[in-house]
Structure 1
């Protein structure tokens, strides 16, 4: 998995952990009461933090998200920092990719559709007319 994909996949977990713990997410020990998303995010942050040479930009991005967890720009800045770290350390990117839950999609019932990304038309209706 490439660094951009891993960064996009791990940042929601990191954001959840930062929203829950603020900047203390880096030093906080594992919280058994934390939900799975926050716990995974915390583990990801601590692995990213272990790269001492990357801490400056990461610390600043974490502080921005801690101050405004719902701010799309702060989350984007965090994603850029995570992507930068992962581009510099392919082994860490692979390790973090392994931590992520596997994606699965289930469709059931007549005409049900399960799709991760769709860039076109999906029609399951009888006699549907599709115009472009």
Structure 2
């Protein structure tokens, strides 16, 4: 099972870029050679999302409604933030309610870079391959809390 939150973190920015760049026409526009990769990816994602259920009336699709609202939001940062949140919620609902959709969309996404390679050598060595927000301590009697 794919991580819905991680998938949303990749889908939302691309979908938003397509909606903002092309407005309502993103719903029917074919790929434009001059568009950047993020907008083209957003177009493919939105196209797949909107064509997932041929029996649904187009105007009743929550994703379509939110994409239109985002495209019409203008430049007000508060309205854009609200529309982004609405898009994320609509996409989360679509991903959780439609079996196989997450896997279909993940195929369209670029392969994430591999995690950084790390190596620790020697007694009590430590290697961190990503972010660390806590203490790292080694040695005899290491308690994890800094001394005061």
Which residue, out of 43, 63, 69, partners 2:68?
Answer: 63
| Secondary structure, counterpart of 1:120 in structure 2 | coil
Question: Does residue 120 of structure 1 match 2:133?
Answer: yes
Q: Which residue number corresponds to residue 31 of structure 2?
A: 30
User: 1:38 Cα deviation (Å)?
Assistant: 0.4
CA distance in 2: counterparts of 1:35 and 1:61, whole angstroms = 22
Which structure would you say has the larger RCO, counting Cα contacts within 8 Å and 6 or more residues apart? 1
Q: Which one has a bigger Cα radius of gyration?
A: 2
Say which structure is richer in helix.
1
Deviations 1:47-98 (A, max 9, x none): 0000243853112211221122651110010011111111122312101112
Pick closer, same or farther for the CA change 1:46–1:122 going to 2, 3 Å.
farther
Unaligned runs of 5+ in 1: 108-112, 124-129
Aligned pair count reads 121
Q: Which residue of 2 aligns with 1:20?
A: 21
- Output the CA distance in 1 between the equivalents of 2:146 and 2:72: 47
Task: Give the structure-1-normalised TM-score.
Answer: 0.75
Q: Take 2:83 and 2:100, find their aligned partners in 1: how far apart are those partners? A: 26
Residue aligning to 2:100: 91
RMSD over equivalenced CA pairs, Å: 2.8
